[in-house]
C-alpha cells in the first residue's frame, strides 16, 4: 500500500472553523473542521481563538495548533475520502467524554 506524500504550502481562514488549504501538487481543499472538533486533542479547537492560531509547520509540512493538534497532510489533501471516518471518530470521542460507553 502506498501513502502519497503531500505538503501544505499555504492556508486561509475563510469562515469560522473553515480553512482553504493549498498543497504542493497545486490542489486545494476547503474544510469545515467543526464536525471533528471533539476529544482531548481536537476538542480544545472549539475555542475559535485557539483554532485561528493555526500555523504551517514547515518541518512536517502540515497545519499545527498551539495545543499540539495537527492532521496528516495526506488526510487533509484527501479530506473528501476521510471526512466521514473522522466524523465517526469525533462522535466516539464526544460520547466517551460524556461517559457513554462506545
Domain ranges of the chain: 8-97
Please tell me what DSSP assigns to residue 26.
Answer: S
> Residue 37 CB: number of other CB atoms within 10 A?
20
- What pLDDT is stored for residue 93 in this prediction? 63
Assigned CATH topology for domain 8-97: NE0471 N-terminal domain-like (3.30.2020)
Burial letters 51-85, b for 16+ CB under 10 A, else e:
beebebeeeeebbbbebebbbebbbbbebeebbee
Q: Give the separation between CA 94 and CA 64, rounded to whole angstroms.
A: 21
- What pLDDT is stored for residue 69 in this prediction? 96
pTM of the model: 0.85
For residues 48-69, give the mean pLDDT: 97
Residue 11: pLDDT above 70? yes
Amino acid at each position: 500500500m502506498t501513502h502519497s506524500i503531500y505538503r501544505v504550502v499555504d492556508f486561509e481562514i475563510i469562515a469560522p472553523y473553515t480553512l482553504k488549504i493549498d498543497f504542493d501538487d497545486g490542489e486545494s481543499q476547503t474544510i469545515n473542521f467543526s464536525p471533528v472538533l471533539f476529544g482531548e486533542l481536537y476538542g480544545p479547537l472549539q475555542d475559535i481563538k485557539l483554532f485561528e492560531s493555526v500555523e504551517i509547520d514547515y518541518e512536517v509540512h502540515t497545519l499545527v495548533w498551539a495545543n499540539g493538534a495537527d492532521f496528516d497532510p495526506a488526510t487533509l489533501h484527501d479530506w473528501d475520502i476521510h471526512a466521514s471516518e473522522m466524523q465517526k471518530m469525533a462522535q466516539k470521542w464526544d460520547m466517551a467524554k460524556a461517559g457513554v460507553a462506545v
